[in-house]
Structure 1
């Protein structure tokens, strides 16, 4: 390994993932790029995940383990960011799998293009396909033929999110798939300085959405690697799939408001944040605990805030956002059925 290779910090929040954690850690240790600092943050796990972290650390000096009282994924991610020494930052969920060439290809894309962040494609998989995914990841992906670079990532984040329209854009030569990305922090590589004074809000859901606008507005260029380099386990027990409380939906409303206002400030149509805001307020009304007086009051306040934000859009902008919202809702219905049937 060359002494000139930069250090890449890989941050992995860990909580009660004893069944899948070893696969995740092994996929990071197996990276073709070796100059890694692997930070495992045990967020007060109640199973044997802490012992698994310590056992791997005893065998590989690149692993650093942080044990802390349970405080949620945002607190764990922040602890990882505070401890990271690398020039570049990557994240991984504790039950997902990284392709062998993940860091190598993402780093090469950054260095060759001068981008602020690089990203790649991901693949969802069910538990029954775990062994196949592990084998696929360990073989490594073929080298990408080209790296697509685009500017104004905040605009792309807000406007390029409908799968149907992305497919139309691809067929009409607009290269829309390369410009698509969401709030997830995994399957990306960041320049370290992007995270200066940005930390995830602790004690709330949608912590990644909350920082999205500010983070993307800092970037001048993003590089897209057209290869699947990350495998996302679809577990029915994950917060995203099973949480249905009022507070869960309200936190998404708050995140939608923050990014809606941030987009308007930068002169960008807040289409994705419209979808998040309107959809999450509608879901607040379906929460089992909506009947609690404090939640009723908050729901009314959220409705008022939504109306005041939509009033800041022109009629044409509201129409654009509403159309994209309906298209995305249709896509979400298909996506949800696919996930429920993924074993």
Structure 2
């Protein structure tokens, strides 16, 4: 019988994790599958393990090839697949027992070209969402869209492994990964989003992305400050930009992708302080991207990154390093009703920077804090510390979201406790019993909308110190790794 789903496993030196990966695939409660494990000339026992599974399972095929990289392996697997749909899996990861049955059910119900499920990070065999940035926003609600224009936030999920793709769709548009490119998944996935005629998102957890110890075969995403790794990421960004050359309908989409890629590239900017070699490579690469993108509006990246990019554009490398080395503070200066980051270059005549590069248009990380929790049997209250000028130019709300995306409760009331201190409350009588809700802050502004999960540097010191916070009737406010932030557990 021809399988409905082909699962392609990209194997390279993951012998320690292969049995868990293969067992999770063979243990799926959806059975109409073929598994194609392709070994990329591993130097450990990976190939032997693949052969062992091939001998024991009729729907398991093992191939080996001369080392060519994950993109080549993935493309080969797609070319060999016989199912109506195909999935790509990294060989150190795990798929949930119901993962593919849920994805296939949605694919058949919606006739989708792509179906996406929720992922989690697997750290010492524990689930965590803390390493994700904006991806949980993509997975928080069941959606079916016919064009990426309907939900441009989709681009934040550039992974290939938490999805299934209609095989005929991939072949119709010649979609695959660029051979030799380490960061080949985002370019492939973003292009697929653009051409997809139906993309579906389910909120169920389908994939567990393992984070391996640094130095023990850690993945490429854990080695982002290596020069070769960083240059590969920049190459993928440039390829992705040119993917949409001459396609007017894709212009807005590729500019959104460009902004997101700049944000990702700037995550490693602090490494330029301690490494002159990385500094030279980083500055040159970012300048090349800024020239390629032209008059890109990157204000949605937030005031800190806007200033960093302006300094890089002007080749003010010494000033940038000086700014990065300073202890950060979120001091805000009010000028004509707007808030500005009060840093050394705000009014420095030598640089001649426009004050607008330091204007804070929305709640930006480092310029607000959440804490002041109050929890009782019927109400949760929190305090937002933020400059009044920022609040005057955007809309802010808080909400509690269930882990599976099936429920959300919005904080209804807002009060002013004092200058720069706002109070939000929510009644808990509508919360489901025995549930876990993650707290999020959402904002809408003139330069874009966004959402934060509340954790880490977004919390006041006192707000973090009092957690977990318990109410007499069993409600608990705590930090939840699976949620990636502060959460409410109901009795």
**Normalization by structure 2: what TM-score?**
0.53
Counterpart of 2:168 in structure 1 is 193
**Aligned residue runs from structure 1 range 25-44, under 5 A:** 25-44=22-41
Higher strand share: 2
The structure-2 alpha-carbon separation of the partners of 1:214 and 1:57, relative to structure 1 and needing over 3 Å to count, comes to same
Structure 2 unaligned blocks of 5 or more: 128-140, 307-362, 367-451, 458-480, 483-491
Deviation of residue 324 (structure 1)?
11
Counterpart of 1:10 in structure 2 is 7
Counterpart of 1:149 in structure 2 is 144
Counterpart of 1:113 in structure 2 is 110
Counterpart of 1:291 in structure 2 is 277
Counterpart of 2:392 in structure 1 is none
| Distance (Å, rounded) in 2 between the aligned partners of 1:61 and 1:335 | 48
The structure-2 alpha-carbon separation of the partners of 1:329 and 1:241, relative to structure 1 and needing over 3 Å to count, comes to farther
The structure-2 alpha-carbon separation of the partners of 1:243 and 1:147, relative to structure 1 and needing over 3 Å to count, comes to closer
**Counterpart contact for 1:250–1:280, Cα < 8 Å:** no
Could you list the per-position Cα deviations for residues 311-330 of structure 1 after superposition, in whole angstroms to 9, with x for gaps in the alignment?
2x3xxx44335569678987
The structure-2 alpha-carbon separation of the partners of 1:231 and 1:306, relative to structure 1 and needing over 3 Å to count, comes to same
| Residues 1:206 and 2:183 are matched in the alignment | yes
| Residues 1:267 and 2:251 are matched in the alignment | yes
| Distance (Å, rounded) in 2 between the aligned partners of 1:303 and 1:234 | 31
**Aligned residue runs from structure 1 range 73-84, under 5 A:** 73-84=70-81
**Counterpart contact for 2:74–2:177, Cα < 8 Å:** yes
Partner secondary structure for residue 177 of structure 2: coil
Task: Name which of 187, 193, 200 aligns with 1:216.
Answer: 193
CA RMSD of aligned residues (A): 3.5
Task: Name which of 210, 225, 235 aligns with 1:254.
Answer: 235
Could you list the per-position Cα deviations for residues 150-192 of structure 1 after superposition, in whole angstroms to 9, with x for gaps in the alignment?
2323674xx42xxxxxxxxxxxxxxxxxx57511111211100
Could you list the per-position Cα deviations for residues 286-309 of structure 1 after superposition, in whole angstroms to 9, with x for gaps in the alignment?
4688639xx958953651441341
Higher RCO structure (Cα 8 Å, ≥6 apart): 1
Higher helix share: 1
| Distance (Å, rounded) in 1 between the aligned partners of 2:187 and 2:51 | 32
The structure-2 alpha-carbon separation of the partners of 1:275 and 1:86, relative to structure 1 and needing over 3 Å to count, comes to same
Partner secondary structure for residue 291 of structure 1: helix
| Distance (Å, rounded) in 2 between the aligned partners of 1:244 and 1:185 | 23
Counterpart of 1:320 in structure 2 is 300
The structure-2 alpha-carbon separation of the partners of 1:328 and 1:252, relative to structure 1 and needing over 3 Å to count, comes to farther
Deviation of residue 283 (structure 1)?
4.2
Counterpart of 1:93 in structure 2 is 90
Could you list the per-position Cα deviations for residues 218-268 of structure 1 after superposition, in whole angstroms to 9, with x for gaps in the alignment?
102211112111112111322211342222112222222343453984132
Partner secondary structure for residue 64 of structure 1: strand
| Residues 1:182 and 2:157 are matched in the alignment | yes
Counterpart of 1:173 in structure 2 is none
Deviation of residue 279 (structure 1)?
4.6
Q: Which has the larger radius of gyration?
A: 2
| Distance (Å, rounded) in 2 between the aligned partners of 1:324 and 1:260 | 24
| Distance (Å, rounded) in 2 between the aligned partners of 1:120 and 1:325 | 30
**Normalization by structure 1: what TM-score?**
0.74
**Counterpart contact for 1:278–1:306, Cα < 8 Å:** no
| Distance (Å, rounded) in 1 between the aligned partners of 2:44 and 2:98 | 31
Counterpart of 1:61 in structure 2 is 58
Partner secondary structure for residue 225 of structure 2: coil
User: How many aligned positions are there?
Assistant: 295
| Distance (Å, rounded) in 1 between the aligned partners of 2:266 and 2:90 | 27
| Distance (Å, rounded) in 2 between the aligned partners of 1:302 and 1:181 | 20
The structure-2 alpha-carbon separation of the partners of 1:284 and 1:250, relative to structure 1 and needing over 3 Å to count, comes to farther
The structure-2 alpha-carbon separation of the partners of 1:155 and 1:319, relative to structure 1 and needing over 3 Å to count, comes to farther
The structure-2 alpha-carbon separation of the partners of 1:324 and 1:243, relative to structure 1 and needing over 3 Å to count, comes to closer
**Counterpart contact for 1:16–1:46, Cα < 8 Å:** yes
| Distance (Å, rounded) in 1 between the aligned partners of 2:50 and 2:70 | 17
